[in-house]
Amino acid sequence: MTQSLRKPELLAPAGSLQHLKMAVDYGADAVYAGIPRWSLRVRGNGFSREDFAAGISYAHEHGRKFFAVLNVIPHMRRVNAFDDSLHEVAALKPDAFIMADPGLIDRAIELYPDIPVHLSVQANTVNAGTVKFWQKIGVKRCILARELSLSEIAMMREACPDMELEVFIHGALCIAVSGRCLISGLLARRDANLGACNNSCRWNYRTKNLNLVDGTGAHAAGLKDEHIEFAPSASPLDQRDLPSLYAEIEETSRRQGEWMPLEEDEHGSYLMNSKDLCALPVLKELMELGVDSLKIEGRSRSPFYAGGISRAYRLAIDALASGQPIPEESYTIVGSIPARGYTTALLEAHKPNETQDYATNAPSPGKWQVVGQILSQDEQGDLYIKVKNRFARDNKILVYTPQGPLSLDGSTLRDKNGHLTDLAPGDGYYVYLSCPQQLDLDTAVLLRDDS
């Protein structure tokens, strides 16, 4: 008989109140949301004070937890405003603060010792000694650095058996140490460590002043380093006159003779563009290690992302805990939602081309496209839909719910006047579709399935 595994907490992102409700209803055990001005997702943060109060109540009413994120690393001119913000959020009774700055952590523990502090991934915790240090300070959980392998996590778990450990399992990765990046600050004066990252690593770059030593062209064996310069490129339209470029760069300090291909076309080169993290292939190993919390990245993604990915991992965790394999639906969800390709990143050893996306700075559209907002449903089941993206009667149309997908009959598509139509053209249109069952409109998502 297969031994059951302990279920870790499944922690999902909440970029707004709608994200929070989707994550909770689709299976997350806990959600995390950023305090405006004090978290590293300033852009797109949809939470007001009223939303925080409503979100915490919603989570608690459903038996889930709510973690408030205050993980900026502030300069002196901002520190004086911290206490007022801390008092305001503490009054709402979140289940924990997620923090990174030692000074702010010390202040939070001093003022609110009954609210646990979770150490943010920004603190870059990579060894057991660091975990034990923060445990002495009063931190209750360490969110481990994303630079750790499974074997290193295992060693830390063994060395720190009485400390909560949290690991990222899904979402975007950046070319930085635990997210602490200076590229955005240097190029655009937008400090990633204060929440203003402009994703400079996703920009397309091109080479210039590239000289091949022996002049033989594309596959010359050596390059003069001083003549290789990378700069933010212009738009693709401004690069149409650029020739395609292929070169090879050697990392000479330790790997002489091992060449990295560098390719550039009219779209540029994407040297720092990581694939997204997906830990489904190693989820069982993480559960066997006894990790306390598994975290999904994505406060800037859509509400359906928060819900769909939560359901994917909810199904997977529940199956593994009962001795069953991960269900196919989990893989279908992560493979159908837009992403940049997937990797287990540093959890496992990889060759560089297995973790980096050198071809594009845009995510794959995935198999599922959100095509409309369901505004209402009448007693006969008809859905009144505000169209967001084009779909037709002969498309495969789904409503995704916390219980899974539900197929709709495209032949019932009607325009806003109730007349049968072949097409919902796009944004600005309103249509009707029949649905065989009553839906919770707060969590139902209308999708076009292009698989």
Dump pLDDT digits (tens) for 153-199: 999 999 999 999 999 999 988 777 767 776 777 677 777 767 777 77
Q: Contact, 149 vs 123, CB < 8 A?
A: no
266 vs 308, residue with greater confidence: 308
Sheet holding 445-449, edge to edge: 404-408, 396-401, 445-449, 368-377, 383-387, 430-433, 414-415
Vertex 254: Cα angle to 251 and 255 (nearest 5): 55
Q: And the tokens for 429?
A: 């249109």
- Distance, in Å, from the CA atom of 436 to the CA atom of 198, rounded to the nearest integer, reads 44
Q: What pLDDT does 388 receive?
A: 94
Query: In this structure, are strands 276-278 and 342-343 parallel, antiparallel, or unpaired?
Result: parallel
Once rounded to an integer, what is the mean pLDDT over residues 138-161? 96
In 120-253, DSSP assigns E strands to 141-143, 164-171, 205-208, 229-232, 245-250
Checking if the pLDDT of 217 tops 50, the result is no
pLDDT of residue 257: 53
Dihedrals phi, psi of 321, to nearest 5 degrees: -65, -25
**Are 118 and 140 within 8 A, CB to CB?**
yes
Q: Which residues contact 407 (CB under 8 A, 6 or more apart)?
A: 396, 397, 398
pLDDT in tens, 297-329: 988 889 999 999 999 999 999 999 999 999 999
For residue 198, the model assigns a pLDDT of: 78
Residue 406, pLDDT > 80, answer: yes
- Give 231 or 405, the one with higher predicted confidence: 405
Count of CA atoms in the C-beta half-sphere (13 A) of 126: 10
Structure tokens at 411: 């032949």
Give the number of residues written for the chain: 451
Which 3 state secondary structure label does DSSP give 51? helix
Q: What angle do helix axes 128-137 and 102-111 make, rounded to 10 degrees?
A: 40
Structure tokens belonging to residue 58: 């919603």
Of 127-136, 146-155, 250-259, 263-272, the poorest mean pLDDT is in 250-259
Q: What percent of the chain has pLDDT over 90?
A: 61
* Straight-line distance from the first to the last Cα atom of the chain, in angstroms, rounded to the nearest whole number: 37
Which residues, including other chains, have CB under 8 Å from residue 264's CB and lie 6 or more apart?
A: 206, 207, 242, 244, 245, 246
Specify the pLDDT at position 354: 62
Q: Is the pLDDT of residue 43 over 70?
A: no
Instruction: Tell me what the mean pLDDT of segment 424-437 comes to.
Output: 94
pLDDT of amino acid 299: 82
Q: Which residue has the higher pLDDT, 222 or 137?
A: 137
Helices (H), ranges, 172-252: 183-188
Note the pLDDT of residue 201. Answer: 74
Residue 336 has pLDDT above 50, yes or no: yes
pLDDT of the residue at 267: 60
Range with the lowest mean pLDDT among 90-104, 206-220, 378-392?
A: 206-220
Say which residue, 239 or 424, is predicted with more confidence.
424
Task: Extract the tokens encoding 75.
Answer: 């300069």
Please give the pLDDT value at position 208. 47
Q: Select from 105, 153, 108 the least CA-distant residue to 133.
A: 105
Instruction: Give the other-Cβ count within 10 Å of 168's Cβ.
Output: 23
pLDDT(363) > 70: no
User: pLDDT category, 4, cuts 50, 70, 90?
Assistant: confident
- 36/85 Cα distance (integer angstroms): 9
- CA dist list (Å): 341 to 269, 283, 367: 17, 18, 13
For residues 248-263, give the mean pLDDT: 48
pLDDT of residue 337: 92
3-state helix, strand, coil in the chain (%, to 5): 30, 25, 45
